[in-house]
């Protein structure tokens, strides 16, 4: 589950999940839901693999989301259905998606960058919490 909150000229994401892997998958879905309206309209036309290394969970989340944003900006791919595994300081993931099509995917926000400001990943008594602020 994720929610969006306002933060000055930026947008913040607060994500909660039972497991760390689901937390990172939900964060990815939340990112793409901010980029385009109707992520449900994204079709699974191609599969993309990701590998991101990082010992600190908050920096791993930052690098993961940054990699996804770079994939959107450089390859114009919209992604969904994130399968994430995290172990020993390494995230391995797979996602499906399709090229961005302005006719079918209405643009919601231009996400310029993932920021370090307020970056948080922590385990709580009922699962995991992450917060990240996006520069729009």
**pTM of the model as a whole:** 0.92
Distance, CA of 68 to CA of 113 (rounded, Å): 11
Indicate which CATH number applies to the domain containing 130: 3.55.10.10
Distance, CA of 77 to CA of 54 (rounded, Å): 24
Confidence label for 9 from pLDDT (cuts 50, 70 and 90): low
Confidence label for 3 from pLDDT (cuts 50, 70 and 90): confident
pLDDT per residue as tens digits for the range 99-135: 999 888 888 889 999 999 999 999 999 999 999 999 9
Name the domain count of the chain.
1
Distance, CA of 55 to CA of 4 (rounded, Å): 27
- Residue span of the structural domain in which 114 resides: 2-135
**Structure letter (DSSP) for residue 36:** B
């Amino acid at each position: 589950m994720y929610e969006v909150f306002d933060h000055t000229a930026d947008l913040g994401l607060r994500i909660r999940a039972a497991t760390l892997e689901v937390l990172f998958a939900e964060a990815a879905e939340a990112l793409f839901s901010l980029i385009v309206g109707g992520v449900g309209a994204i079709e699974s036309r191609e599969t993309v693999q990701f590998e991101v290394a990082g010992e600190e969970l908050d920096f791993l989340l930052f690098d993961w989301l940054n990699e996804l944003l770079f994939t959107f900006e450089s390859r114009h791919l919209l992604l969904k259905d994130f399968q994430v595994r995290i172990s020993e300081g390494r995230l391995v993931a797979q996602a499906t998606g399709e090229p961005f099509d302005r006719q079918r995917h209405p643009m919601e926000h231009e996400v310029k960058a993932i920021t370090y400001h307020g970056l948080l990943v922590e385990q709580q008594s009922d699962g995991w919490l992450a917060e990240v602020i996006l520069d729009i």
